Structure 1
Amino acid sequence: MNNPLIFGFALVAFDVAIWRCAIPKNEVARLLVRLCVYAALSSLLFNSGLSPFSKAPYADSKPLHVLGQVLEIIWWLMGARLLSLALDTLLLPKTWRRQRLFQDVFGALVFLAAVVAALGFVLELPVRGLVATSGALAIVLGLAIQSTLSDVFAGIVINTTEPYHIGNWVAIDGVEGKVLEMNWRATHLLTSQGNIVIVPNAVAAKAKITNSSRPPTLHGITILLEITPEARPGTVLAALEAALAGVRAVIADPAPYALVKRTSAISVTYEATAYVDDMSKKLAVTNELYDLCYRQLEAAGVALRPLGAGYAQPLAAAAPETDPRMHLLRRVEMFAALTQDELKRLAPLLSRRDYERGDTVVTPDKVLDQLTIVDSGVLSVVAEDASGPVEVTRLGPGDALGEAGLLAGMPARVTISALTASTVFQLNKDDLTPLLKDQPDVARLMCQMLSRRRDTLDKLGTPTPVAQSEQSVFQWLLDGMRKLHDLTF
């Protein structure tokens, strides 16, 4: 066997080894090595008379003639493959490469041209007749796979206009999900239920597309609430604005807002809209906003109306509390274990205080000797971190503060100020002591809530001064409360 054939097949084997072993690891470097191998193979073939543009020599030896033809056909196919790889690696944008549509379509066209060229130049077959026959066959196949071709061309349009990318959260033709894959036929979406939905490109090209990932740092949240028409719109809107101000994850620009959406004989629909800077926050913020709207509306004395409820059937069928302080105590989590009689005994002991926006309610060095319960408005809790002040949380109707001083005689360690005009009710330590003696469950619940807040502050670098390191914060608070209030349980 002549040396050109041996060296030619050796170069082909070397190229296959580079492809299979992915050496070198860098994609561009690997492509350059393969191009050098292809250049060496081309030089070998043209210098030895094995031109891919003519029939192979060795007419007197059929095995050598066949091997020469095989090597020339491989040259055409290698060139087609390297041309498609060069286009994909060096010219196409990264987003197009991830979608692979252009690479697949261009690769198919290049390989088809290489096959036709190999048949015409190497095997000397009648290419004109083959092309004419293949054209008629292509028409028949085109009619048979018309829907598939529609998906292919729609995919080209989608990849060119780029209405969405892989990883975006989109809604296409009523289906909402995360884009996992974009190929020549369809877009693959991962829904919130964990299902894969395949949307054909022809459907996506004609459908209305909502891309929730653009712009990347602005995502809107809108909730609708049906309120009894007996409630004054100004009161409802003020409550909804307070609820929007109570969500810490909501960004300030664009500003959140509330408005009257529509009215009917049985209800008035209000819309509250806010914005977050991360798509992953939408679910948690939506749920928090619903909860705060309910609490702020309840604090304002406004009843939500369920769908289908008649005008003469308001939500609050039960008789309202005559004392608003009783209604407030019912909303406080730590007093859930109290009976009706115990709440009635506790309610007259509450005293009211009003704060304007920007007023300071608690300073870090102050030891509170009363329990403060938010009746309406929003309070901001700010702690000092190594980098400066950090907002820890926001308090709304039904939230309580001051347990640290009330239970263990500790300073607040935070600054609490009014974000909106707020009303609070306060319960003195001496008035709370009989309740703690009669209701140990309430005392433990208060310690649990305070220990959770202490954990949050500990992460900010202001640790709770627990006397013994092996003692839990909860147990330390419980022991301090027993000592401060002279409890025996």
Structure 2
Amino acid sequence: MAEAFQDGWAWWVIALAVGVPVLLVILTEAIGALSRRGNPVAKPLRMLRNWVVPVGALFALLAFAIQSPADRVWVRVVATVFGFLVILLVLSAFNVALFANATPGTWRERIPSIFVEIARLTLVVIGLALLFSWVWDADVGGLFTALGVGSIVIGLALQNAVGGVISGLLLLFEQPFKIGDWLDTGGVKGRVVEVNWRAVHIDTGSGIQIVPNSNLSGASFTNMSQPDGPYSAETEVKFSTDDPPHEVMALLLETADALPMRMPGERASVQYSGAGAYGVSIPVAAPADAARALSMYLSWLWYAARRRRFALDGDSTDPLAEPQVLAAALAEIAPTLHLREDDAEALRSTAHLERYGVGEVVLPSGVVPDEVRVVLSGRALLSLEADGGRIEVGATEKGEMIGQTALTRERTKVVTIAGEILTVVVLPLNTVDELIRTRPRLAAEIGESLELKRTQAEARLSELGIAKGGIRGL
């Protein structure tokens, strides 16, 4: 027994018999505590407990306790397995230390997982080569030389394909854009819908354009979604040089500010470039809203310019301005206003026709109208403005009036919007007052119409469970 302790192998047996179970118990408790907290350190500790410690104990038993010769095959096999597990444990620990708790926005958080896997594979191969050199006395120099030459040959043969992959990996690592961002590459403009190692897929609105990563990495492009904040939808329009610039600019701003896509709290801007040219910039929440905003803006501007008799694109002609068209319209609404032949003749000098595009505001809320409009064609929607939105409470059909509260001098409580292309006959307030003074029946009909619309609006609010609050100005 004294000889056993003197040789040292007895101490190794005692140390392994006592130390390994104690170490396993400590590791098990530590792993349990870390797992309950969701700590990523539990993963390498689990590998240490389940694999490294048992195989290490077996290697220590063979090499130090039993004192088997180091050149024995089973000793070398166990040493190789133990060395391989130690390599994996070290790599797992580094991975947890570097990337598991990476701060958002740092390079450690942005680095693609493929980079980590390639680095891990390279280190494993190098570690195994060194391990075989130490344990098995293998000559790995020739292997590294062959791999180096082979890599050069393969790289030259696949340089174009590999170049695209490397470019994609660099883009993924740098992350100059993400899925959903809008890019302008000079030749392609649209929203990013997919990013892979080879190419970026961009939805241009008329199809998916596939742009190779090598093209993006070797040229400049614009990420229109960065930085966060309003994006400007910009366009240029031309009017006649006879149109007063400040009045035209006021019309451009008024039309732009009425757009539902305009970002709340931001105002549109207009720049006069001379020679009847104006640049308009409309703030929207994102590039995705720009196309819709410009389409709606330009269509509304066409109607608004005709109503103001401005020559948008140098053309101010409007069929509604023809005298015979107004005469036909007055004849059509004559039953509504109880007009006689001489009344129609008198109205031709004061009345006029207007058209509104779909979605345009015909009469805002909170104003006392100074004109009354009679719907000639189309349909207008009546909506209450609440919590930044609109609640539809009624409609005005052909032959009905818009702005009857001008007669009672009340402020409107609802906003009137063109639900379709809307054509109206506009009558000055004093003209309608004169008609009512000589036609009591017309006054009664207007009062009945107002009361009916109030009833319909209150019924609609009751249906939605919203307090009425006294709807009077319709």
Instruction: State if a TM-score over 0.5 links the two structures.
Output: yes
Q: 2:146 aligns with which of 83, 108, 133?
A: 133
For this pair of structures, how many residues does the alignment match?
389
Q: Say if 2:310 and 2:316, in contact at 8 Å, map to a contact too.
A: no
> Cα distance 1:61–1:401, how it changes in 2: closer, same or farther (>3 A)?
same
Let me know the Cα RMSD of the aligned residues: 5.9
> Cα distance 1:37–1:260, how it changes in 2: closer, same or farther (>3 A)?
same
Deviation at 1:146, TM superposition (A): 2.1
Supply the distance in 2 between the matched residues of 1:288 and 1:370 (Cα, whole angstroms): 26
Q: Which amino acid is the alignment partner of residue 209 of structure 1?
A: F
Q: 2:159 aligns with which of 127, 130, 146?
A: 146
Aligned ranges for residues 339-358 of structure 1 at < 5 Å?
Answer: 348=348
Q: 2:235 aligns with which of 202, 213, 223?
A: 223
Deviation at 1:130, TM superposition (A): 1.7
Deviation at 1:236, TM superposition (A): 3.1
2:413 matches 1:413: yes
Supply the distance in 2 between the matched residues of 1:281 and 1:458 (Cα, whole angstroms): 33
Q: 1:300 aligns with which of 290, 296, 308?
A: 308
Q: Which amino acid is the alignment partner of residue 207 of structure 1?
A: A
Deviation at 1:248, TM superposition (A): 5.4
Supply the distance in 2 between the matched residues of 1:153 and 1:252 (Cα, whole angstroms): 43
Q: Which amino acid is the alignment partner of residue 250 of structure 2?
A: A
Q: Which amino acid is the alignment partner of residue 144 of structure 2?
A: V
Cα deviations across residues 345-395 of structure 1 (Å, max 9, x unaligned)? 79549679xxxxxxx99759x8x8973589xxxxxx99785x8xx6859xx
SS in 2 for 1:178: strand
Supply the distance in 1 between the matched residues of 2:229 and 2:267 (Cα, whole angstroms): 14
Q: 1:88 aligns with which of 87, 95, 99?
A: 99
2:280 matches 1:272: yes
Supply the distance in 1 between the matched residues of 2:405 and 2:145 (Cα, whole angstroms): 89
Return the index of the structure with the highest Cα Rg: 2
2:468 matches 1:463: yes
Supply the distance in 2 between the matched residues of 1:277 and 1:424 (Cα, whole angstroms): 39
Q: Say if 1:169 and 1:177, in contact at 8 Å, map to a contact too.
A: yes
Aligned ranges for residues 382-393 of structure 1 at < 5 Å?
Answer: none
Q: Say if 2:55 and 2:81, in contact at 8 Å, map to a contact too.
A: no
Supply the distance in 1 between the matched residues of 2:88 and 2:427 (Cα, whole angstroms): 80
What is residue 122 of structure 2 aligned with on the other side? 112
Supply the distance in 2 between the matched residues of 1:257 and 1:328 (Cα, whole angstroms): 38
Supply the distance in 2 between the matched residues of 1:462 and 1:428 (Cα, whole angstroms): 33
Aligned ranges for residues 197-236 of structure 1 at < 5 Å?
Answer: 197-228=209-240, 231-236=243-248
What is residue 163 of structure 1 aligned with on the other side? 176
SS in 1 for 2:183: strand
2:242 matches 1:241: no
Supply the distance in 1 between the matched residues of 2:295 and 2:461 (Cα, whole angstroms): 21
Q: 1:35 aligns with which of 26, 41, 44?
A: 44
Supply the distance in 2 between the matched residues of 1:369 and 1:260 (Cα, whole angstroms): 32
Q: 2:269 aligns with which of 257, 267, 276?
A: 257
Query: Which has the higher mean CA deviation after the structures are superposed, 294-303 or 85-94?
Result: 85-94
SS in 2 for 1:270: strand
Query: Which has the higher mean CA deviation after the structures are superposed, 343-352 or 218-227?
Result: 343-352
Runs of at least 5 residues in structure 2 that lack an aligned partner in the other structure: 1-15, 25-30, 62-67, 353-362, 376-381, 392-400, 417-425, 443-447
Q: 1:76 aligns with which of 80, 87, 90?
A: 87
Supply the distance in 2 between the matched residues of 1:162 and 1:105 (Cα, whole angstroms): 14
Q: Which amino acid is the alignment partner of residue 271 of structure 2?
A: L
Cα deviations across residues 381-439 of structure 1 (Å, max 9, x unaligned)? 99785x8xx6859xxxxxx84368999x99843599xxxxxx984474895999x99xx
Deviation at 1:127, TM superposition (A): 2.3
Deviation at 1:45, TM superposition (A): 3.7
SS in 2 for 1:225: strand
Deviation at 1:251, TM superposition (A): 4.8
Deviation at 1:299, TM superposition (A): 1.8
Aligned ranges for residues 430-469 of structure 1 at < 5 Å?
Answer: 461-463=466-468
TM-score relative to the length of structure 1: 0.58
What is residue 187 of structure 2 aligned with on the other side? 174
> Cα distance 1:222–1:59, how it changes in 2: closer, same or farther (>3 A)?
same
Cα deviations across residues 334-353 of structure 1 (Å, max 9, x unaligned)? 99x9xxx999679549679x
Cα deviations across residues 305-346 of structure 1 (Å, max 9, x unaligned)? 3xxxxx8xx5738694359977999xxxx99x9xxx999679
Cα deviations across residues 274-304 of structure 1 (Å, max 9, x unaligned)? 2124555434432332233222211221233
% identity of equivalent residues: 18
> Cα distance 1:349–1:257, how it changes in 2: closer, same or farther (>3 A)?
same
Deviation at 1:240, TM superposition (A): 1.6
Q: Say if 1:116 and 1:127, in contact at 8 Å, map to a contact too.
A: no
Deviation at 1:121, TM superposition (A): 0.6
What is residue 469 of structure 1 aligned with on the other side? none
Runs of at least 5 residues in structure 1 that lack an aligned partner in the other structure: 12-17, 306-310, 353-359, 375-380, 394-399, 417-422, 438-442, 467-480, 482-489
SS in 1 for 2:59: coil
Supply the distance in 2 between the matched residues of 1:105 and 1:190 (Cα, whole angstroms): 28
Q: Say if 1:187 and 1:199, in contact at 8 Å, map to a contact too.
A: yes
Q: Which amino acid is the alignment partner of residue 36 of structure 1?
A: L
